Amino acid sequence: GENVEQHPSTLSVQEGDSAVIKCTYSDSASNYFPWYKQELGKRPQLIIDIRSNVGEKKDQRIAVTLNKTAKHFSLHITETQPEDSAVYFCAANFFGNEKLTFGTGTRLTIIP
């Protein structure tokens, strides 16, 4: 069945250091991989996404890498800042039933 595994579940990083969150997916046909950020008490919002025709995408301090062979993708945040503290969710699409399945989330805490 469709499955997205996300690790770690919690991550603490010193301000200014980098953070990496990893996800694996089960269906080799998946071709859309978004990342959402959810601040405390707020709704999830898209921060970056990647499609399978590229291996890496960057947007300022945020980047996502995709390894289709291994069926995993990662979120990289560089030069972390206190406002990066949030829960991050990865997701992957599954064509069999037109679904977007989310990982279980990573609570990222930036230590000042």
Taking the complex as a whole, the smallest distance from the CB of residue 31 to another protein amounts, in Å, to 7
Q: Of 25, 105, 108, 110, which lies in the binding site for another protein, with binding defined by CB under 8 A?
A: 105
Instruction: Count the residues of the shown chain that bind another protein, applying the rule CB under 8 A.
Output: 22
Asked whether 87 and 30 are in contact (CB, 8 A), the reply is no
Q: Of 26, 31, 65, 109, which lies in the binding site for another protein, with binding defined by CB under 8 A?
A: 31
Q: Of 40, 60, 70, 98, which lies in the binding site for another protein, with binding defined by CB under 8 A?
A: 98
Residue 43 near another protein by CB under 8 A: yes
Task: Report the chain's C-alpha Rg in angstroms.
Answer: 14
Q: How far apart are CA 66 and CA 30, in angstroms?
A: 12
Asked whether 49 and 69 are in contact (CB, 8 A), the reply is no
Taking the complex as a whole, the smallest distance from the CB of residue 4 to another protein amounts, in Å, to 9
Q: Binding residues for another protein, per CB under 8 A? A: 6, 9, 31-32, 34, 36, 43-46, 49, 89, 93, 97-105
